[in-house]
Chain A
Amino acid sequence: MSAAEPKSPRTSEAGHWGKDVRSDMHVAFEARDSGGVEISLESRVAPYYGDAILEQARQVLDELDIKHARLTIHDEGALPFVIAARIEAAVRRAGMALGKKSLPAQHTPPAPSQRDRLRRSRLYLPGSEPKYYINAALHSPDAVILDLEDSVHRDEKDVARLLVRNTLRAVDFGSCERMVRINQLPLGLEDLAEIVGESPDLILIPKVEDPQQVAEVDRMIGEMKSRHGMIRSIWIMPILESALGIENAFAVAASSENVVALTIGLEDYTADLGMAKTPQGRESAYARARVVNAARAAGIQAIDSVFSDVADMEALRHWGEASRAMGFEGMGCIHPGQVRVVHEAFAPSAAEIEKAQKIVAAFEDAQQKGLAVVSLGSKMIDPPVVQRALKLVDRAKAMGVIQ
């Protein structure tokens, strides 16, 4: 006498809930073989969006081709793009919905980013914390960077990837460049497979030591782009985070025409040296100078690391000013409050601008008169000085420092 063994329920979960969680949700999924879709919802916004959440949940399951399941949702005010990501993650963790996805409504994608655009600040947004995304652009960083690497626990990479994908698609980041830091290879390739279709502007590759790593990413991006029929550029910014990486700085910087900037990760670099990271940064002076030189040699931007004390704005300002003086064009921000200070630190001074404007005026005057030599007062101005002045005035305009 043997009854048919009932199939064991396939259960999984994704997301977060609890008193201190905001703008997120937790989804428990149980695959079933019959009985249709059953959803239970607890939400702090139930009186306003309870019906909308249930409707969206059904729609997501439908798009993922799930006909029979039980969903248990604890919602803490998640926005629609988060809801979709959490449900999809839970379903995928049950080993289902292969080859399917459920994308949120698309926000009009911004214009493609320019190779040499301003990159004074990039604001880090942890790939598992949706509450920071919606208002990130209000603080006007030059870029936001959705992080899949260090800020995401290794067991949460699959979930974060879907959230970042949906964020790229649905969230309005205004005029910010939309960057993603993928994981180290080979995991980073899985990240790319998920996100490239949603047109990130730039990919940061962590812990690069070898131009081959960049080439691999570049190839993968190219393949994904042609699969999606995309033409817009997706730039690359390698992060050097080891002594070996620093030694290979130029080769990495020059490894692809899509590499537009080179940066350094000081936490890992100083750890690799076995040194403590100090606010003065003397221990990394060589590495940072090397990054600047390699980037310049390859004709790309040199971008500095982050400053990790979010309470000390004066120290941040000093770091930023010193960094600009070394030749860096920007740095990372780990808190929106740092953005303004960083922009001020990387802006040319009033005196520099005034001098540059005089040189540019003299240059334009010479052009008009058909003179080959530019002179200001009794001094002749060398062509590289003119070039630097033109660039400085352009940058100051882009920064909004001058009209």
Chain B
Amino acid sequence: MSERVELAHNAVGRRVPTMVNGRPQIPFLGVGKYQPRGRKAAPPIRSSKDYPDSGDKRLPDLETALRKCGLRDGMVISNHHHLRDGDRVALMALEAAAKIGVKDLLWFPSASFPSQKGAIELMEKKVIHHIEGSMNGPLGDYCTQGKMRGMGVLRSHGGRWQAIQDGEVHIDIAVIAAPTADFFGNADGSHGKSACGSLGFALADSTYADHVIVVTDNLVPFPCVPWQIQGNNVDYVVEVESIGDPSKIVSGTTQITRSPDRLRIAEFVARFLRESGIMKNGFSFQAGAGGIALAFVQYLKQMMKEDGVKARFVRGGSTKVLVELLQEGLTDYILDGQTFDLDGVRSMANDPRHVATSPFTSYNYHGKGNFASLVDAVVLGATEVDTNFNANVVTHSDGRLLHGIGGWQNCLFSGCSILAVPSFRDRIPVIVDEVTTLTGPAEMIDVIVTERGIAINPRRTDLLDAVKGSKLPIRPIQDIKTEVEKICGGRPARPKLGDRPCAVVKWVDGTVLDTVWQVA
């Protein structure tokens, strides 16, 4: 990253590069302001005559498969992250590429995890040029220390799909870890010893990549039913001993927070939904797998029972607590993007009302609508929020990359987006004057729930009216901030960030929302 980077101010005043990894960029224009045109990217034409009539696409190993896909320097290799921190396939593929001797690959995972820190060595050896995808832990540090040769690009789950469809990222070879597959390449995530539930994140890769390799540790005779990945998109199938560590793919048990302060936040969120009237028959909500989100569902469930209210659908990441809602008849469906625990995996495998979704159905910007805006309320986390309701979810307030965007940006399109956060962590206030990295624009964020009170975005006069007269501690955001700064012994100093961009944060439409700066 030696070339000078030209910067422009985007519509929210953030300085962003106009060129990223050799591709010209459009600075963020405002929510809904950018109008994309043209035709979507497409994979090359293939012919069934070139594939075996027997349907058997098996090859002995990944290295052979990569060679047959024509792997060469500078190509884009993609992986999905449904196996989370237990995944073995991504590194297996990248290491096979190293063995072949290629250089300067762009690794394009739907997310990366700490167990994939081996990618650092491959970047040092110049096998990988850079990563476009979420980076946290050691990979995040490597990026924000400015050691990566290219610029990191952080996209939401929906934004990754958009980038593929726009041709902004052209996947040369998709390597798809599959908990179950047949020799034709049909693949499923909800069965097998490494079952992970949905394979939705790999769907775009399977349909848009030039070449697709399915890697499985549970090969079944054709047909693999159900198939989440269609074998008709798959070039080769490789059978391996293990695609991942099951104990890290899904957790055996769901941990609900026991922290009284976090439980208090969770209960406030549930009460907010009830008292604002959002919790009513036929409503819908989405909650992640964080401790507060899980506890929130427990409280809400009790209130739904008390009030005789049933949801039409809930959106996963699914966990035991959502599965219980389904089983107890408190929701008609779970529309599930990813599966976090064994109960979720079992439910998806056995219950037709537990439906696997993909970022296309849920989040895709180039779809003719998507599910995210149909959800009545969503409960999310954040690392920082400013007094205008802008939020950061990707960097720690010292500028280091901490999380990927995941579905976070996409979920902000729901009817009521709620950030459930402690008001300070380790003396560091969460409500700040200006977020370190803008990930969610203020107009998209409706409610901040902390243990010290609930702040409603003044733009949402409807929500303010809805809870008027309730016993909820509704407070101006500035008020909570002032209280917390008093507790913490004054306003925190602003950490010094470098002036070299090391990654960009994309908005859901592909425009550049903000820059992650090299940590000084």
Q: Which residues of A contact B (CB under 8 A)?
A: 22-23, 44-45, 47-52, 56, 76-80, 134-135, 138-139, 335-337
Contacts and interface: CB of A to CB of B under 8 A. Distances in A.
Contacts of A135: 260-261, 451
A52 B260 contact: no
B121 interface: no
B487 A48 contact: no
B475 to A, nearest CB: 13
Interface of B is mostly: loop
Given A49-B488, A138-B452, 17 more contacts: A22-B426, A23-B426, A23-B427, A47-B495, A48-B495, A49-B427, A49-B493, A52-B489, A78-B427, A79-B427, A79-B488, A135-B260, A135-B451, A138-B261, A139-B260, A139-B264, A336-B260
Contacts of A80: 489
5 contacts: A45-B428, A48-B427, A48-B495, A52-B493, A77-B427
Residue of B260, B397, B398, B428 with most partner-chain A CB within 10 A:
B260
A77 B426 contact: yes
B263 interface: yes
B369 interface: no
Interface string B478-506: 00000000011110110110000000000
Given A44-B426, A77-B426, A49 B492 contact: yes
Contact of B398 (A47, A77, A335): A47
B426 A76 contact: yes
Contacts, number: 56
A138 B483 CA distance: 13
A336 B451 CA distance: 13
A336 B260 CA distance: 6
A158 to B, nearest CB: 24
Given A51-B493, A138-B451, A45 B426 contact: yes
Given A48-B495, A80-B489, A138 B264 contact: yes
A51 B263 CA distance: 33
B488 to A, nearest CB: 7
Contacts of B451: 135, 138
B234 to A, nearest CB: 45
A48 B428 contact: yes
B424 to A, nearest CB: 9
Ranked nearest first, the 8 interchain pairs of A and B with the lowest CB-CB distance are A77-B426, A48-B492, A47-B495, A336-B260, A80-B489, A77-B427, A47-B398, A45-B427
A45 B427 CA distance: 7
Contacts of B261: 135, 138
Contact of A52 (B398, B452, B490): B490
Interface residues of B, number: 20
Nearest to A78: B427
Nearest to A45: B427
Given A48-B397, A48-B495, A138-B451, A77 B260 contact: no
Residue of B263, B427, B492, B495 with most partner-chain A CB within 10 A:
B427
A219 to B, nearest CB: 37
Contacts of B495: 47-48
A38 B263 CA distance: 42
A48 B489 CA distance: 11
Interface string B418-456: 000000011110000000000000000000000110000
A45 B489 CA distance: 12
Contact of B493 (A22, A48, A335): A48
Contacts of B427: 23, 45, 48-49, 77-79
A321 to B, nearest CB: 21
Contacts of A337: 260, 263
Contacts of A44: 426
A337 B451 CA distance: 14
A83 B489 CA distance: 11
Nearest to A311: B258
B428 A79 contact: no
A52 B398 CA distance: 16
Contacts of A45: 426-428, 492
Contact of B487 (A22, A134, A335): A134
Contacts of A47: 397-398, 493, 495-496
Contact of A335 (B260, B264, B397, B492): B260
Interface in B259-275: 260-261, 263-264
Contacts of A78: 427
A134 B486 CA distance: 12
A310 to B, nearest CB: 9
Contacts of B490: 52
Contacts of A76: 426
A335 B261 CA distance: 11
Contacts of B492: 45, 48-49
A337 B267 CA distance: 12
Contacts of B489: 49, 52, 56, 79-80
A176 to B, nearest CB: 15
A236 B451 CA distance: 32
Contacts of A134: 487
B487 A79 contact: yes
Residue of A50, A51, A78, A134 with most partner-chain B CB within 10 A:
A134
Nearest to A22: B426
Nearest to B427: A77
Contacts of A50: 493
Contacts of A52: 489-490, 493
Nearest to B399: A47
Contacts of A48: 397-398, 427-428, 492-493, 495
A22 B495 CA distance: 21
Nearest to B423: A135
B395 to A, nearest CB: 12
A79 B426 CA distance: 9
Nearest to A47: B495
Residue of B428, B489, B496 with most partner-chain A CB within 10 A:
B489
Contacts of A22: 426
Contacts of B263: 337
Nearest to B492: A48
Nearest to A335: B260
Interface string B264-300: 1000000000000000000000000000000000000
Contact of A77 (B397, B428, B493, B496): B428
Interface string B451-474: 110000000000000000000000
A138 B495 CA distance: 30
A103 to B, nearest CB: 14
Residue of A22, A45, A47 with most partner-chain B CB within 10 A:
A47
Interface string B51-88: 00000000000000000000000000000000000000
